[in-house]
Structures are given as C-alpha cells and as structure tokens.
C-alpha cells in the first residue's frame, strides 16, 4: 500500500464559512480520488504544529496515487491556506492489538531525523518508538514508516502513526507514560546527547469513525 498524509494550516483570519466550504470540497475530492481508504477531518485541541485539517489517503500503489494526489495538492493550495505539510510513503512496520478493539482517534507524528545521523542510531531510535505499544494499552493500532517524499518547509524523514481508544488517552496516558519521557524523549531533548530530532515536529490528530491503519 502507498499512503499520503497532508496537514493543512489555515490563515487565522479565515472565517468559519470559508473553512467549512474548503473542508467540504476536500472531502468530496478525497472520496472521488480512487483511494482505498480516505480520511479528511479537522484537527483537535492539543495539536503541536499540527494544522487545522488532517488528510490521510491510502492507495493500492504509488502509481495509482500519482495523478489524484497532484490534483488534490492543487486544491489544497487555496486562498485560506498558509501552509501544507505532507508526506508520501509505503506503509512499513505496523501492528494491531489483538482483540479487535477500535480506535476513535487517529494521530500522526511527522519527524525529521538530523542529516548525517548514523544508520545504527536511526535503527535504535525506530526500535524505541516501536516499543511504545507494548506499554501503552490505549494504542490499538500503530505504524512507523520512512518518508519517501516530503512536502512543505520541513524535510520529514519519518511518520509515526497510531489509533488511540480516546482523546484523553493520547494526551494523558501516552504523553505522560514512563516509556515516553524515560526512553523516547531522549531522542527529542536538546539536553540529551542522543538527540536526533532537532526540528519542530508535527504532532497532529483527529477523530475517526473507521479504522485508518488496517
């Protein structure tokens, strides 16, 4: 599968009717673009550099995505848009918690590993991220992928996606868990020698009615 994620940042001066019209146009385009799965939803309070609208599309192949995504990107570049962050990637290391639990929140973290980071260090960073679902039961599905093409001012290298049982678990159990601040945060903390993420991340999330990472 080939996935595309877009994070749209609106002009703060855009009024509610302009935002609603824009979102509806994007929803129609996403529904008609031939994607196997599509998600278009406003972001929720608590995002960090996470924009106002989150879009996620999954296609059978990179070829199938090429023209529809180009057309969608042209639509996203509207008068109320100040920036679009985005990534294209083949779905990589993933997991689903046994038991058939469904998530109500989709979260994506776009990150840029500093250039020149040794491959072995990158692999350890990735392993630490993938350990998190073992300790955080509110993560019901997850996926870590390397970005093949980034959009926007930051050259994103990784996208770390999860489905959470609920919003409270994302902003509480996940962010406050010892595996987060005791193991994973060292890769992001400028006071730690192991830091590999030096640019501001894009931490964004929205509600979902159906599975995204399946």
In a domain, 214, yes or no: no
In a domain, 90, yes or no: yes
In a domain, 213, yes or no: no
- For 73-99, how does the pLDDT look when each residue is reduced to its tens digit (9 = 90+)? 999 999 999 999 999 999 888 999 887
- For 19-46, how does the pLDDT look when each residue is reduced to its tens digit (9 = 90+)? 999 999 999 999 999 999 999 999 999 9
In a domain, 46, yes or no: yes
Q: How far apart are CA 58 and CA 47, in angstroms?
A: 23
In a domain, 78, yes or no: yes
One DSSP character per residue, 162-198 reads: EEES-HHHIIIIIHHSHHIIIIIGGGT-TTSTT--B-
Domain CATH number, residue 72: 3.30.70.100
Number of domain units in the chain: 1
In a domain, 122, yes or no: yes
Q: How far apart are CA 122 and CA 134, in angstroms?
A: 20
Domain extent at residue 132 = 2-207
In a domain, 146, yes or no: yes
Within the chain, which residues score under 50 in pLDDT? none
In a domain, 50, yes or no: yes
Q: Report pLDDT for 100.
A: 64
Q: Report pLDDT for 102.
A: 77
């Amino acid at each position: 599968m080939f996935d595309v994620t877009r994070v749209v940042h609106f002009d703060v001066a855009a009024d509610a009717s302009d935002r609603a019209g824009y979102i509806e146009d994007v929803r129609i385009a996403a529904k008609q673009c031939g994607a196997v799965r599509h998600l278009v939803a406003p972001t929720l309070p608590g995002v960090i550099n996470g924009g106002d609208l989150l879009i996620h599309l999954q296609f059978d192949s990179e070829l199938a995505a090429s023209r529809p995504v180009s057309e969608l990107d042209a639509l996203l570049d509207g008068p109320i848009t100040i920036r679009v962050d985005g990534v294209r990637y083949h779905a990589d290391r993933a997991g689903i918690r046994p038991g058939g639990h469904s998530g109500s929140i989709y979260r994506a973290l776009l990150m840029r590993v500093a250039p020149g980071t040794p491959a072995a260090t990158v692999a350890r960073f990735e392993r630490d991220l993938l350990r998190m679902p073992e300790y955080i039961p509110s993560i019901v599905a997850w996926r870590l992928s390397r970005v093949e093409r980034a959009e926007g001012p930051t050259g994103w290298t990784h996208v770390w996606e999860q489905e959470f049982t609920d919003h409270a678990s994302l902003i509480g159990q996940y962010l406050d868990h010892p595996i987060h601040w005791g193991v994973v945060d060292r890769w992001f903390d400028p006071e730690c020698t192991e830091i590999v993420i030096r640019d501001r991340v894009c931490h964004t999330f929205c509600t979902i009615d159906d599975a995204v990472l399946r």
